[in-house]
């Protein structure tokens, strides 16, 4: 993968720092440990500089216009990440499709077992917006709650707001909107419900990216959502 990336080692380290949803694995695991109801954890072990599994892999993806679709061609500040004419299909087939297949199979197995599924889509984001973005001039609250008109029911939306708003100020679908649903079920199966938790990183880490006292508050909010 490294040979295809045009950045210097120093630039790459900086880009990874900017684009990684920091500590979401720690938040999810700690919340799962403290929740009474034990969820499955489906963890993306790849950097977004390999593939972004939550983008649409086709023309539906709004971020394609800034070169940051399922496979990133541009950096967070608009520089070329990969060479002009790079064909993303190889990465789609090798990494995106197996991720999507595995998530789809897990979702289907839970649906078959219980008749319904809840996906809690856990993210974190930086205080300052990246220059190469499509959602400039939007609010960047302590908590962004992502919902979908089809896959987030009214009761789920209210539960998410009640639990996640305990972290701090919040907005719905701002600065990030929607929530992850495997494409097999997207817009088709209302029994697959989903809500997104986008927590601003300064709520749980300090400037040196060390966990701060707010980490426990974020974990508690997510655990309450799981149990709710």
pLDDT tens figures, 153-208: 999 999 999 999 999 999 999 999 999 999 999 999 999 999 999 999 999 999 88
pLDDT at 135: 79
Fold that domain 2-227 belongs to in CATH: Aminopeptidase (3.40.630)
DSSP SS3 for 175: coil
pLDDT confidence tier of residue 28, bands split at 50, 70 and 90:
very high
Domain ranges across the chain:
2-227
Hey, how many other C-beta atoms are within 10 angstroms of the C-beta on 5?
A: 19
Tell me how far CA of residue 189 lies from CA of 24, 61, 100, 112, 183, in angstroms.
Answer: 27, 21, 17, 13, 10
Q: Give CA–CA dist 14/79, Å, rounded.
A: 13
Whose structure tokens read 């002009």? 84
Q: Are 109 and 182 in contact (CB under 8 A)?
A: no
Q: What is the mean pLDDT of residues 23-50?
A: 96
Task: Over range 69-79, report the average pLDDT.
Answer: 96
* Strand boundaries in the chain, DSSP class E: 117-125, 143-146, 170-172, 192-200
Nearest by Cα to 141 from 121, 114, 168: 168
């Amino acid at each position: 993968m490294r040979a295809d990336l045009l950045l210097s080692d120093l630039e790459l380290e900086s880009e990874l720092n900017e684009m990684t949803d920091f500590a979401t694995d720690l938040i999810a695991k700690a919340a799962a440990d403290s929740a009474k109801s034990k969820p499955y954890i489906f963890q993306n072990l790849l950097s977004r500089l390999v593939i972004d599994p939550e983008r649409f892999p086709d023309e539906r993806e709004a971020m394609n216009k800034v070169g940051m679709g399922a496979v990133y061609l541009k950096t967070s500040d608009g520089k070329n990440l990969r060479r002009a004419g790079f064909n993303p299909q190889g990465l789609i087939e090798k990494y995106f499709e197996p991720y999507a297949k595995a998530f789809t199979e897990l979702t289907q197995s839970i649906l078959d077992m219980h008749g319904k599924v809840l996906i809690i889509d856990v993210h974190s984001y930086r205080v300052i917006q990246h220059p190469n973005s499509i959602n400039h001039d939007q609010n960047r609250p302590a908590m962004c709650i992502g919902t979908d008109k089809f896959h987030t029911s009214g009761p789920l939306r209210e539960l998410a707001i009640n639990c996640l708003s305990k972290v701090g100020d919040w907005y719905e679908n701002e600065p990030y909107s929607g929530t992850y649903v495997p494409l097999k079920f997207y817009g088709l199966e209302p029994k697959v419900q989903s809500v997104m938790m986008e927590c601003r990183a300064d709520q749980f880490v300090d400037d040196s990216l060390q966990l701060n006292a707010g980490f426990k508050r974020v974990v508690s909010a997510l655990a309450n959502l799981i149990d709710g």
